[in-house]
Structure 1
Amino acid sequence: MRVIGLMSGTSYDAIDAAAADLRLVGDGLVLKPLGLVSEAYDWALREALEASLPPGTTSMAEVCRLDTRIGQAFAAAAVRADRELCDGRAELIASHGQTVYHWVDGAEVHGTLQLGQPAWIAEATELPVVADFRPRDITAGGQGAPLVSLVDLLWLRGRPGTPVALNLGGIANLTAPDGSAFDSGPGCALIDAAASGFSGGQLAYDVDGALAGRGSIHEPLLHRLLEEPYYALPAPKTTGKELFHLGHLRDALAGFGTLPAEDVVATLTMLTARTVADAVREVGATEVIASGGGTRNPVLMGMLGQRLPGVALRTSDELGLPAAAKEAYAFAVLGFLTAHGLPGTVPAATGARHARVLGSITPGRAGLRLPPPVLERPVRLVLE
């Protein structure tokens, strides 16, 4: 089955559309990557989205407009991926949508909201669309994240030692071989916020770690940032830009006077490296396989490597899964599982009471024609 996975992370810089040819062979799921296309949000949509996210405020009218416009942007990305990567022969779309709010109260998640109306995608592609993956896990008592953990566990099954999958997106999360998974804290969210804030919006992120590379770590600021209670919470736990946003950084900077932008960004980069490294050591990792936009920041990766002596640090590219596309491929897998009636969660990862089939399905032009259900979920993922 040719599936297109659509993903826009907490950095909301672009929509990634990854196409995969997926098939069940024995107890394995074989994934043949067909490629990735990325579509940046247009300036007006990105600005409207950014203004609506915490600590900003919004209205129901603006939420409706965003849901429509994001859905249309996802639809355009899906059409392009089908044309360029699948020769117009895609069979299913799996859309994560754009997370705009994750309702967390202490260690409990009450709800989550992803925008990007799937009906626009189904109308444009004429294909069935699986969307709204996270709520079903939350209703079963889970965190609704990180959902890529199932794919990580299937993919890394059988590797020697204790391999840990790490995603360095806006928020950093990891998956350990025992099924435990959690958000360690900010990945690039605060770095991005600082880069944008100090540049007056000219920079969306710290390109190649240039700002951090020119700066020095401000130890008092780092100490204050590390006092955030989230880091001490036990797993499973999840977070988002509801906590780690520009306002969080401004509160931390209060009383320090005017610090050089480079020093602030260097300190935030060390914050991510330190909190990720602490989480990696906590699970006893012997190997870290990283993906996500943060892997393109050499300063961040260097700091992380320095704090993990004796632990092999590599990117998912080295194992055949493009670091920039891994999450989009993961949602393609989750959509495939849903279409075949198979659960897409690991209770140990999200804290749910039971594994659940995820998402809601919007029919395509031919109506709802799903493949025959499969009784047993695959136990390993094989890259072809």
Structure 2
Amino acid sequence: MRVIGLMSGTSYDAVDAAAAELRLDGDTLALKPLGMVSAPYDGGLREALAAALPPTAVPLAEVCRLDTRIGQAFAAAAVRADRELCGGRAELVVSHGQTVYHWAEDGRVHGTLQLGQPAWIAEATGLPVVADLRARDVAAGGQGAPLVSLVDLLWLWGRPGTPVALNIGGIANLTAPDGTAFDTGPGCALLDAAAREFSGGRLAYDAGGALAARGLPYRPLLDRLLAEPYYALEPPKTTGKELFHAGYLRAAGLDGLSAPDALATLTLLTARTVAEAVRSVGATEVIASGGGTRNPVLVRELGHQLPGIPLRTSDELGLPAPAKEAYAFAVLGFLTVHGLPGTDPRSTGARRPSVLGSVTPGRDGLRLPPAQRGVPVRLVVEA
């Protein structure tokens, strides 16, 4: 089955569309990557989305407008991916949507909201769409994140030692072979917030870590940030920009700091908290993906914080680092239409595994494949 996975993470800069050929062969799920296209949000939509994120209060009218405009942006990316990567022969679209709120309190997740109305995607592509994948795990008592943990467990199955899959997006998360999975804390979220803050909105992020490379970490600020109670919570746990946003930085105290010193401090914060999480699960190697892998200063600092533990990107194992999450959601949607669960309760804390998401029929109605009895235990990435 040719499947398109759509993803926009907590950096909310673009819609990534990855296409894959997926097939079940006994207890093995085979994935052949067909490529990725990335479609940046237009400036107006990105600004509207940024203005609507917590802790801002927004009217329902704005939520409706964003749901429509994000859905249309996802639809355009899906159409392009079908045309350019699948030759117009895609059979399914899987949309993560855009997370705008993750309701976490007292160690529990009570709800989660992703915008991007899937009807726009189904109408534009004519294909069935699996969307709203996180809510079922939350309803089953889980964290709803990291939702890619099942894919990581299948992908790393049989690899020697204790390999850890690490994704560095706006929020960083990891998955260990024993099923332990959790958000480690900020990935690029605070880096992006500081870049916008110091540039008056001119910069969306610290491209290539250029600002951080010119600065020195400021120990008092680092110590204040490391005192955040989230880091001491036991997994499973999840967080988001509801906690780590520009206001959080202002409260921590940026007065008097230069942009380079602030970015150097925040880069060290991300590297330090990720490294502590990696060590806590006994990792023998780290396989990283996500936008943070394109920041050489952050990657270098993470390497310094993990002496003796090899750090490589998912590209080396066949999954392009910028596209890995989009491929992972393609897998989760594929499991859904085959009636198979897309969660591991060890990772999310749910009471039971769940078949994820809701399905919007395509132009020709809905014809689901026969439900599968066997649950895959490994994921093989084919060249």
2:338 to 340, 364, 377: 340
| Corresponding residue number in structure 1 for 2:61 | 61
Aligned-partner residue type, residue 234 of structure 1: E
Stretches of structure 2 lacking an aligned partner (at least 5 in a row):
none
Stretches of structure 1 lacking an aligned partner (at least 5 in a row):
none
| Corresponding residue number in structure 1 for 2:327 | 329
1:151-186 deviations in Å (ceiling 9; x for gaps): 101001111110000000000000000001000000
Deviation at 1:27, TM superposition (A): 1.2
Identity %: 77
How many residue pairs get aligned? The number is: 382
| Corresponding residue number in structure 1 for 2:222 | 222
Q: 1:226 to 1:120 in 2, by over 3 A?
A: same
1:312 to 310, 313, 320: 310
What SS does structure 1 have at the residue aligned with 2:88? coil
Q: CA separation in 2, counterparts of 1:377 and 1:2? A: 20
| Corresponding residue number in structure 1 for 2:192 | 192
Deviation at 1:55, TM superposition (A): 2.1
**Counterparts in 2 of 1:271-282, with a 5 A limit?**
271-282=269-280
| Corresponding residue number in structure 1 for 2:49 | 49
| Corresponding residue number in structure 2 for 1:155 | 155
| Corresponding residue number in structure 2 for 1:363 | 361
1:244-290 deviations in Å (ceiling 9; x for gaps): 0000000001xx63111100010000000000000000000000000
| Corresponding residue number in structure 2 for 1:37 | 37
| Corresponding residue number in structure 2 for 1:92 | 92
What SS does structure 1 have at the residue aligned with 2:165? strand
What SS does structure 2 have at the residue aligned with 1:314? strand
Normalising by structure 2, report the TM-score.
Answer: 0.99
Contact map agreement 1:51 1:57 (CA 8 A) in 2: no
Q: CA separation in 1, counterparts of 2:286 and 2:106? A: 28
**Counterparts in 2 of 1:255-270, with a 5 A limit?**
257-270=255-268
| Corresponding residue number in structure 2 for 1:164 | 164
Q: CA separation in 2, counterparts of 1:257 and 1:39? A: 36
Over 3 Å off, 4+ runs: none
What SS does structure 1 have at the residue aligned with 2:322? coil
Q: CA separation in 2, counterparts of 1:118 and 1:226? A: 39
Normalising by structure 1, report the TM-score.
Answer: 0.99
CA RMSD after TM alignment: 0.6
| Corresponding residue number in structure 2 for 1:291 | 289
Deviation at 1:137, TM superposition (A): 0.2
| Corresponding residue number in structure 2 for 1:212 | 212
What SS does structure 2 have at the residue aligned with 1:109? strand
Aligned-partner residue type, residue 358 of structure 1: L
Q: CA separation in 2, counterparts of 1:125 and 1:365? A: 8
| Corresponding residue number in structure 2 for 1:251 | 251
Q: CA separation in 1, counterparts of 2:342 and 2:136? A: 10
Q: CA separation in 1, counterparts of 2:32 and 2:96? A: 20
| Corresponding residue number in structure 2 for 1:107 | 107
Q: CA separation in 1, counterparts of 2:150 and 2:30? A: 15
